[in-house]
Structure 1
Amino acid sequence: MPRPTSLSIDLNALSNNAATTRRLVGNSKILASVKANAYGHGLTRCSEALNQKVDGFAVAFCEEAVLLRQQGITLPLLLLEGPFDREDVDAIKEYDLMMVVHSHHQIELLQKSACPLTSPVWIKIDTGMHRLGFSPAEAPSVAQRLHEMGASSTILMTHYGEGEEPASALTQEQQRAWQTSTHSITSATSAANSAAIINTLAPNTDWMRPGIMLYGAAHSDPIGASLEAVMSFRSEVMAMRHILAGDTVGYGGRWRAQRDSTIATIPVGYGDGYPRGAEDGTPVWLQHQCVPLVGRVSMDMITVDVTDFAGCHIGTSVELWGKHLSVNEVAKHSGTIGYELLTRLTGRVPVNYHL
Structure 2
Amino acid sequence: MPRPLVAEVDLAALKHNLALAKQQNLQAKTLAVVKANAYGHGAVKVALALESDADAFGVASIEEALELREGGLKAPVLLLEGCFSEEELASCERQNFWVVCHSDYQIEWLIRYLSTTDWRPQIWLKVDSGMHRLGFDADAVAGVMEQFSSIEGLPTPVMMSHFACADQPAHPRNEVAQSRFNPVKTNLSSFANSAGIFTQATPADSWQRLGIGLYGGTPSELGLQGLQPAMTLKTAIIALRDISPGESVGYGATYTAESPRKIATIAIGYADGYPRQAKQGTPVLVNGVEAPIVGRVSMDMITVDVTDLPSVSVGDEVIMFNEQLLADRVAKCCDTIDYTLFAGLTARVPRRYSE
Length-normalised TM-score, structure 1: 0.95
- In the alignment, what sits opposite 2:87? 87
Written as runs of structure 1 = structure 2, the 5 A alignment for 1:55-204 is: 55-113=55-113, 114=115, 116=118, 118-150=120-152, 151-181=154-184, 185-200=185-200, 202-204=202-204
C-alpha RMSD of the superposition: 1.6
Letter in 2 for 1:288: G
The answer (yes or no) to whether the contact 2:280–2:293 under 8 Å persists in 1 is yes
What are the residue-to-residue correspondences of 1:237-248 with 2, within 5 Å? 237-248=237-248
- Cα offset, 1:221, TM superposition: 7.1
Of 113-122 and 335-344, more deviation after overlay is shown by 113-122
Question: Superposed, which structure 2 residues align to 1:208-287 within 5 Å?
Answer: 208-220=208-220, 222=222, 225-287=225-287
Q: Deviations over 1:176-235 (max 9, x none)?
A: 111122xxx233111111011121253545111001101001244748632111111101
Matched residue of 1:340: which SS?
Answer: helix
1:352 corresponds to which residue?
352
Q: Which runs of 5+ in 2 are unaligned?
A: none
- The residue that corresponds to 2:301 in the other structure is 301
| Distance of 2:223 and 2:265 partners within structure 1 | 39
Q: 1: CA distance between counterparts of 2:331 and 2:177? A: 27
Q: Percent identity?
A: 40
Q: Which moved more, 1:43-52 or 1:9-18?
A: 9-18
Query: What is the CA–CA distance in structure 1 between the aligned matches of 2:201 and 2:166, rounded to whole Å?
Result: 8
Alpha-carbon distance in structure 2 between the residues aligned to 1:304 and 1:116 = 61
Deviates more, 1:192-201 or 1:207-216: 192-201
Q: Which 5+ residue runs of structure 1 have no aligned equivalent? A: none
Structure 2 CA distance for aligned equivalents of residues 335 and 224 of structure 1: 19
Residue number in structure 2 paired with 1:338: 338
Contact 1:17 1:215 in 2 (8 A): yes
For residues 196 and 7 of structure 1, the distance between their equivalents in structure 2, rounded to whole angstroms, comes to 28
Give the SS at the match of 1:271: helix
When the two structures are superposed, what TM-score results if normalisation uses the length of structure 2? 0.95
Q: CA deviation at 1:117?
A: 5.6
Q: Deviations over 1:278-327 (max 9, x none)?
A: 01011111112211100000101000111111111112111111222111
Q: Tell me how far 1:120 sits from its aligned partner.
A: 2.0
Asked if structure 2 preserves the Cα contact closer than 8 Å seen for 1:162 and 1:171, the reply is yes
Asked if 2 retains the 8 angstrom alpha-carbon contact of 1:166 and 1:172, the reply is no
Q: CA deviation at 1:22?
A: 1.6
